Structure formats: C-alpha cells, structure tokens
Structure 1
Amino acid sequence: MSEDIYSGLQQLGKQTEVPLAPEQAVLERVPNPEAGTRYCVRFTAPEFTSLCPMTGQPDFAHLVIDYVPGDWLVESKSLKLFLFSFRNHGAFHEACTVMIGKRIVDLLDPEWLRIGGYWYPRGGIPIDVFYQTGETPQGVWIPDQNVPTYRGRG
C-alpha cells in the first residue's frame, strides 16, 4: 500500500482532541486492501461510556461491532475518537447503540454490520441493544459475540 491512500486522513498520525459530541466527531475510512474478499472485521469497546439524558450519571457498556466490508474499512483511530465523544453525550442506550451502527453504515456501505451494546444496569435493569443491517452473510465466519448477559456478582 502506498502512503498516498492515507494522505487525506485528518487524525491518524496526528495529535487530535477528543470531540465534544458524536455529531462533531470525524469518522474516517480507508480503502479495503482485500476488497473482493469476504471477511469479518470486529471492534470491541469494553469500556464505552455515555451519560444518562435524565440524570447526567455515567452509563457503561461493552460494545462489539462486526462488519463485512466492501470497498472501505473504518479507520480505527477515528472510530476510537468517535466512541470517546459519547462520554459527555446524554442519550438512552438504544439511541447510542443504533447511532453508532448507522454512522458506520453511512460511512462505509458495508455488505453487513451488526453491533451489540451490552449495557450495565441502570435502575437495576441491564439493557442490551442489538442492531443489524440484514441477514447474517453466508460463507463468512461471523463469530458469536460471547458477551454474557449481566448477572451481577452471582
């Protein structure tokens, strides 16, 4: 791969501030070096944080993002900064999880994407949120997300 395919990136290899809100985050993509080959990419964010829109208290989740790319891959530093931007963002679990999935889909137009948001309890009830763009592709190894349902200490 030549350096010029990365020349348009705004964040990779540069000192970048964490965006103050997801709407301000710049999510970037790079050409898929294996375009035409069907495979699964997984990102795991076990310490995702956002804010409850009602109380302002922090909410915590373990996110697992799987996608089968087409011509593009999400640039991982920009994804990290995008996810960090939720730390001061007040939204319900459902809104955060689905927004992340849709934003990646809008950027990449992947063959398929799913996101599992495994949220820690709020008000004593864990809320898990799942978003997927279509049927699971056949002929591609898509591992289970293997995040157990929240059980507390017991």
Structure 2
Amino acid sequence: MAGTPRFLGASTPLPASPETAELDYVPNPRPGTLYLVRFAAPEFTSLCPVTGQPDFAHLVLDYAPCDTIVESKSLKLYLGSFRNHCGFHEDVTVGIGQRLFGEMRPHWLRIGGYWYPRGGIPIDVFWQSSAPPQGLWVPDQGVAGYRGRG
C-alpha cells in the first residue's frame, strides 16, 4: 500500500478516468502524532451526467493521517481524471472522500465540495468519515457560501 511514489518526478499523463487513476500512499513522516492535512482544489471540474456540460467546484479535503499520507501529485492526477467523468455533484464529492478513506485509512477524513451554480442553484456537498478525533484542530474550510454578484 505505502511505498516509493511512482509518479513524483516522472512525466505522467492524466488518467483516462477516476476508476483507472492510481493513488500513491507513502509512510506518514510523523506516526503517532495527531495532525491535520488539507488539500484545496479550487479549480476542480467534472461533467454533468445529463447534459455533458462542465461542472466546476472548489474542493477542500482534510484528513488526520494514521500510517500513510497521500502523495500530492497522484492526488492531483486523480482529481484531474474527473475532467472527462460524468457524475452528479453528490456522487463525485462523496466518492472521492470514500475512496481516499478506504485506501489510506486515516484516523479521520472530511471533504467539502463547493459547487458553482448549475441552473442557478449552487450545490454544496459534505462528507466525513466520523466525528473528528478528540484533540484534533479542525479549522473552518474557509470557503464562503455562494453569493453571486451581490
């Protein structure tokens, strides 16, 4: 599961789909320490499963590592693989969180998907694996609610 990163430092094409994308996990450099890691993807894209039109989101992923951490280039490639993937906001957001939680097995993980309006309605989707561990500092995700032009 965890080992030497395969993608870091190598020219790597974008995976064809989220299902074929591989994630690299490496040993946690601070095992036994409770801390939070945050990844933000403010330009995430996927496709509407009905119209095929692009959907845009700001994703925020927070997790408290256990034995492994996700290697950031492999995560970037995985998220980029959604560019040509059709999925509802709920399925995409929750699916990313569940895959990472299932493979990496952190103490805790949450994902916020702040989707830009489709049909005039912004959709925000949130998922977390459980209540955060006691003593873990969990800051606000820092993404303001959609306000449009006003």
**Same fold per superposition (TM over 0.5):** yes
Say which structure is richer in strand: 2
Partner of 1:135: 131
Alignment size in residue pairs: 148
TM-score (norm 1): 0.94
User: Are 1:31 and 2:27 matched, yes or no?
Assistant: yes
Q: Distance in 2 between matches of 1:134 and 1:29?
A: 21
What's the TM-score once normalised by structure 2's chain length?
0.96
Alignment match, 1:14: 10
Structure 2: which 5+ runs fail to align? none
Percentage of matched positions with identical amino acids: 66
Instruction: Describe the superposition over 1:28-53 as per-residue Cα deviations: whole angstroms up to 9, x where unpaired.
Output: 10000101000000000000000000
What is aligned with 2:57? 61
Partner of 1:51: 47
Instruction: State the alpha-carbon separation in 2 of the partners of residues 22 and 30 from structure 1.
Output: 20
Match of 1:121 among 117, 122, 129: 117
Bigger helix share: 1
Deviation at 1:140, TM superposition (A): 1.3
Q: Provide runs of 4+ in structure 1 moved above 3 Å.
A: none
Cα RMSD between the aligned structures? 0.8
Work out whether 1:148 is the aligned partner of 2:147: no
The one-letter code sitting in structure 2 at the alignment partner of 1:75 is E
Q: Distance in 1 between matches of 2:31 and 2:37?
A: 13
| Matched residue SS, 1:134 | coil
CA distance in 1, matches of 2:149, 2:78: 31
CA distance in structure 1 between the aligned counterparts of 2:70 and 2:15, rounded to whole angstroms: 17
